[in-house]
């Protein structure tokens, strides 16, 4: 009798365990359940259907006026941090000698869903710098607005799509934690691929963050083509350059990790994403890697694409600058800003409309025309 009771209990426990395993597999595989539902308690709350609509809805009588245009406006101080708390009366919109009254105004407070492309340089010159990147970038992704869609690219001489657009921020953060460096650098190819992906994003608010040392030695796409695409699609590029702008370059070490032995370099690698690599100890004294960052390339690219740039040291902090402060300044600029609507005459292209803040010449103001209605892919010419 006692044995039957024990057997019955064991059978019940086995059945319960089987049910839990089946339920777990069902949750993991069910396409109806967003992937972020599987995140732990530290992850962003789950975005529910209908909760991710843009709040930028001007009154119908304003939105339907002929010539109505909407602009996404970012305002930063001299150190690159966003300026909040401005009012409609603080802004002036103009083109040439014409000024245009503000017809609609709203300040963003991390409530505007964003399509965000992350582009990370994983070439060999970035290998010793990636430990500085992984944790802060992973933290940024983990703390995004639940509605924000993220797409993740890495690149060496080729471009790798590590995660397509998704609100599964935990999955993207985990992939970032495993980034490794090897090979040459196709910076422009990767940035162009990310811009092309953003053209198909669901949200009109589209942003690109580029993390690199600015070196490009294998792209087929030119800087001019990348800037033209970013300008056409009105997608700002925020660039964070890692390294020392004054460090000498070492063009003789474009591939992997090199060691000196009888005057002949031996290349070890690739320590790439998802690639199993045999760890070979050095045969002789290691050639030092360069800490160089091409600051001019990154600053020019971001400026021409209507974004901002930061140049930070590979490790630690210099003069208050670090990768941590830069990445969170960029994140704050994406989360905070202003939407301003106005009526523009037919003879004035929206691209010629400028925005400034009255009596605050110390502030940097960037404005870009966006789709006049949420969910619309129509951008003004």
The CATH number assigned to the domain holding 201 equals 3.40.50.410
What pLDDT shows up at residue 112?
Answer: 83
- Domain-located, residue 50: no
Would 134 be classed as within a structural domain? yes
pLDDT band for position 268 (50/70/90)?
Answer: very low
> Would you say residue 49 lies in a domain?
no
Do residues 23 and 74 both lie within one domain? no
Q: Name the residue with tokens 């969170």.
A: 328
Q: Give pLDDT, residue 223.
A: 96
Confidence of residue 334 (pLDDT cuts 50, 70, 90): confident
Q: Is residue 350 part of a domain?
A: yes
Give 77's DSSP letter: -
Is pLDDT of 251 > 70? no
pLDDT tens digits, residue range 67-105? 999 998 989 888 888 899 999 999 999 999 999 999 999
Mean pLDDT of 312-329: 86
Position with higher pLDDT, 47 vs 203: 203
Instruction: Name 252's Cβ contacts closer than 8 Å, sequence gap at least 6.
Output: 265
More confident residue, 205 or 251: 205
**DSSP letter at 350?**
G
Q: Cα–Cα distance between 290 and 253 in angstroms, integer? A: 9
Whether residue 240 sits in one domain with residue 185 = yes
Q: Do 150 and 263 fall into the same domain?
A: yes
Give domain status of residue 85, yes or no.
yes
pLDDT at 371: 66
Percent of the chain with pLDDT over 70: 71
- Mean pLDDT, the chain, rounded, equals 78
CB 292 within 8 A of CB 245: yes
- Give yes or no for a contact between 290 and 258, defined as CB atoms under 8 angstroms apart: no
- 62-66, 173-177, 257-261: segment of lowest average pLDDT: 257-261
pLDDT surpassing 70 at residue 66: yes
Whether residue 72 sits in one domain with residue 219: no
Choose the weakest-confidence range: 18-22, 110-114, 171-175, 242-246: 18-22
Q: Residue 266: what pLDDT? A: 31
Count of structural domains, the chain: 3
210 and 130 within one domain = yes
Shared domain for 173 and 228, answered yes or no, is: yes
Q: Span 337-365, mean pLDDT?
A: 90
Same domain, 282 and 309: yes
Q: What is the pTM of this model?
A: 0.71
In a shared domain, residues 213 and 148: yes
Do 100 and 158 share a domain, yes or no?
no
Residue 253 confidence (pLDDT) above 90 = no
Q: Domain range spanning residue 23?
A: 2-33
Residues 141, 107, single domain; the answer is no
Determine the pLDDT at residue 154. 97
Are residue 141 and residue 89 in the same domain, yes or no?
A: no
The percent of the chain in helix, strand and coil, each rounded to the nearest 5, is: 30, 25, 45
Lowest mean per-residue pLDDT among 168-177, 249-258, 308-317: 249-258
Query: Would you say residue 344 lies in a domain?
Result: yes
Confidence class for position 134, pLDDT limits 50, 70, 90 = very high
Q: Is residue 380 part of a domain?
A: no
Q: Looking at residues 99-128, what average pLDDT do you find? A: 93
In this predicted structure, what is the pLDDT of residue 287? 38
CA angle 226, 232, 238 (to 5 degrees): 55
Q: Are residues 189 and 329 located together in one domain of the fold?
A: yes
Q: Identify whether 89 is part of a domain.
A: yes
């Amino acid at each position: 009798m006692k044995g039957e009771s024990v057997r019955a209990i064991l059978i019940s426990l086995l059945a319960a365990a089987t049910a839990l395993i089946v339920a777990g597999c069902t949750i993991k595989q069910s396409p109806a359940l967003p992937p972020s539902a599987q995140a732990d308690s530290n992850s962003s709350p789950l975005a529910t259907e209908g909760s991710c609509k843009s709040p930028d809805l001007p009154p119908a009588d304003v939105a339907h006026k002929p010539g109505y245009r909407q602009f996404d406006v970012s305002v930063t101080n001299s150190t690159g941090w966003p300026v909040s708390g401005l009012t409609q009366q603080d802004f002036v919109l103009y083109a040439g000698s014409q000024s245009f009254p503000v017809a609609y105004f709203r300040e963003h407070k991390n409530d505007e869903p964003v399509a965000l492309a992350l582009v990370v340089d994983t070439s060999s010159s970035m290998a010793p710098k990636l430990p500085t990147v992984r944790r802060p970038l992973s933290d940024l992704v983990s703390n995004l607005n639940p509605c924000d869609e993220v797409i993740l690219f890495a690149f060496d001489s080729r471009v790798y799509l590590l995660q397509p657009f998704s609100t599964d921020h935990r999955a993207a953060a985990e992939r970032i934690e495993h980034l490794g460096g090897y090979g040459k650098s196709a910076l422009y190819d990767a940035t162009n691929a990310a811009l092309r992906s953003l053209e198909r994003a669901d949200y009109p608010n589209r942003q690109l963050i580029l993390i690199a040392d600015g070196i490009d030695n294998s792209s087929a796409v030119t800087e001019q083509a990348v800037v033209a695409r970013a300008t056409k699609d009105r997608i700002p590029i925020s660039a964070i350059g890692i390294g020392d702008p004054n460090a000498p370059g070492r063009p003789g070490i474009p591939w992997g990790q090199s060691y000196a032995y009888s005057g002949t370099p031996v290349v070890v690698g690739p320590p790439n994403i998802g690639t199993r690599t045999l760890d070979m100890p050095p045969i002789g004294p290691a050639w030092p890697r360069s800490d160089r960052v091409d600051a001019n390339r990154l600053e020019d690219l971001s400026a021409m694409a209507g974004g901002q740039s930061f140049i930070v040291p590979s490790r630690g902090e210099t003069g208050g600058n670090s990768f941590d402060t830069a990445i969170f300044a960029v994140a704050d600029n994406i989360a905070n800003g202003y939407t301003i609507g106005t009526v523009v005459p037919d003879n004035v292209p929206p691209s010629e409309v400028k925005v400034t803040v009255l009596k605050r010449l110390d502030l940097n103001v960037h404005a870009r025309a966006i789709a006049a209605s949420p969910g619309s892919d129509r951008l003004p010419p």
